[in-house]
Structure 1
Amino acid sequence: MIDALDIDLAPVVAEQPFPVLFATVSGAHLYGFPSRDSDVDLRGVHLLPAADLVGLREPEETRSGMWDRDGVEMDLVTHDLRKFVRLMLRRNGYVLEQLLSPLAVHTTDAHRELAALAPGVLTGHHAHHYRGFANTQWRLFEKTGELKPLLYTFRVLLTGIHLMHSAEVQPHLPTLLGEVDAAPDYLPELIAAKAEREHGDAGVDHARVRADVERLHGVLDEARAASALPDAPTACDALHDFVVRTRLES
């Protein structure tokens, strides 16, 4: 395992053809269950010139690259600001987790301003995002029996439940265990097992975890029904103004 905050991204950022507004650590390090051999997933936003968006050529809105540091594989994926904000407005919890990740390895004033606007995109419909993510990971677990997709299943369900209750995006599973009463009591053991290996059989009672996953889906339904979150984003105009101003000032 590595200290995700100890990543010197300056050379990588300097090599990018466009300004990078932020890059944060996502994936297992953000979720609180990295393995000894986990890759480091870096996600962020770059800023295309205005000319690239008003001409006839299709802009490259998503860029990616991979490199190795001391035997640890890292990858950086960034979206252009406009694309990223559009994803934010589509009840996409995944990009909000990237934006709000406390594991920032490159940040700017624009990053902080965008993060401050994030509460205005939260809606009750984000429960559907986390339900869909959980279903995908559960199907993978049923197919492989591996620990990683099982932890992802529980993580996203608990993130969704916590979001409906608190209007806070919290992707860190160990923290969620203390925030969501419905969390199964065996999850700390699974987190500890995941630290030892990235892949491998979960070694769990499938009937028991299936019952707990189904129960958490019910808890998410109840939390969604009781949530005070709005049905639609409230920050659309502010985000539009932010994208235009940031682009023109670059």
Structure 2
Amino acid sequence: MIDNLDIDLAPVVAEQPDPLLFATVSGAHLYGFPSQDSDVDLRGVHLLPAADLVGLREPEETRSKTWVHHGAELDLVTHDLRKFVRLMLRRNGYVLEQLLSPLVVHTGDAHRELAELAPDVITSHHAHHYRGFAVTQWRLFEKTAELKPLLYTFRVLLTGIRLMRTGEVQPHLPTLSAEPEAPAYIAELIAAKAAREHGTLPGLDRSRVAADVERLHTALDEAQAATSLPDAAAGHGALHDFVVRVRLES
């Protein structure tokens, strides 16, 4: 069982056509603001046979499936190990959050070893990932006034700030709300969204919210400028060796 979920996800792992190195829960459950009608976002890594990568057919490096399991809508996306590691090396914050998610459905030695290698790929340029996603979600909020994109905006900005300052990948918004820059009303927004996935909050002071978002952008810029994180990833060699060894051992 996974914290905050009432379904057993082990059968989902057993149904996959190739072995999963890991599967974790991402999305709103990981971020700390699921709604009653939120789907369950599962993310992970599958391991293709070596023959699939050396032949003429295009390998199925990414698999996506959505279905209903014991009354819950599940969304499963997995990448082959090689593709996932390449994404890690492209300053992709999403895959780091998925790899390091504490909501673990399936794990093993390879998952733990890969997680131990994750700090070596974190750079100051990961701030661009979180800044860009915040801009996209803020524009969506301006169009819809829905709480979901607003919470995503706050979440990614605060995650980026924490990452630049400490090197820690922390996607959980209730935890991040303790940061000094976090608006005091985040808990109210989370409570309002819990009732409905696409809900709004009547009476929300949008000018105040806009000022807070701008302030967090400034804080992220300053945190990136002052960070001790390196300019480039240092883990390429170790990750290459890891991918080769895991593939051959399979």
User: Shorter-chain-normalised TM-score: which range?
Assistant: over 0.9
Match of 1:224 in 2: 224
Identity percentage over the alignment? Answer: 80
The CA distance in 1 between the partners of 2:238 and 2:128, in whole Å, is: 25
Contact 1:5–1:103 at 8 Å: present in 2 too? no
User: Is 1:193 aligned to 2:186, yes or no?
Assistant: no
| Cα distance per residue 1:120-168 (max 9 Å; x no partner) | 0000000000000100100100111101000000000000000001100
The CA distance in 2 between the partners of 1:15 and 1:36, in whole Å, is: 26
SS of the equivalent of 1:238 reads helix
The CA distance in 1 between the partners of 2:44 and 2:4, in whole Å, is: 15
| Cα distance per residue 1:41-88 (max 9 Å; x no partner) | 000000001111111111010112222233211121100000000000
Match of 1:181 in 2: 180
Match of 2:97 in 1: 97
* One-letter amino acid of the counterpart of residue 41, structure 2: D
The CA distance in 2 between the partners of 1:88 and 1:218, in whole Å, is: 26
Q: TM-score, normalised to structure 2's length?
A: 0.96
The CA distance in 2 between the partners of 1:11 and 1:145, in whole Å, is: 38
Q: How does 1:1-250 map to 2 (within 5 A)?
A: 3-4=3-4, 7-178=7-178, 180-203=179-202, 204-250=204-250
Contact 1:25–1:42 at 8 Å: present in 2 too? yes
* One-letter amino acid of the counterpart of residue 110, structure 2: A
* One-letter amino acid of the counterpart of residue 112, structure 2: R
SS of the equivalent of 2:74 reads strand
Alpha-carbon spacing, 1:232–1:139, altered in 2? closer, same or farther (3 Å): same
SS of the equivalent of 2:151 reads helix
* One-letter amino acid of the counterpart of residue 240, structure 1: H
Alpha-carbon spacing, 1:118–1:6, altered in 2? closer, same or farther (3 Å): farther
* One-letter amino acid of the counterpart of residue 32, structure 2: G
Number of aligned positions between the proteins: 248
> Which ranges in structure 2 are unaligned for 5 or more consecutive residues?
none
> Which ranges in structure 1 are unaligned for 5 or more consecutive residues?
none
SS of the equivalent of 1:248 reads helix
Contact 1:31–1:155 at 8 Å: present in 2 too? yes
* One-letter amino acid of the counterpart of residue 84, structure 2: F
Q: What is the deviation of 1:12?
A: 2.1
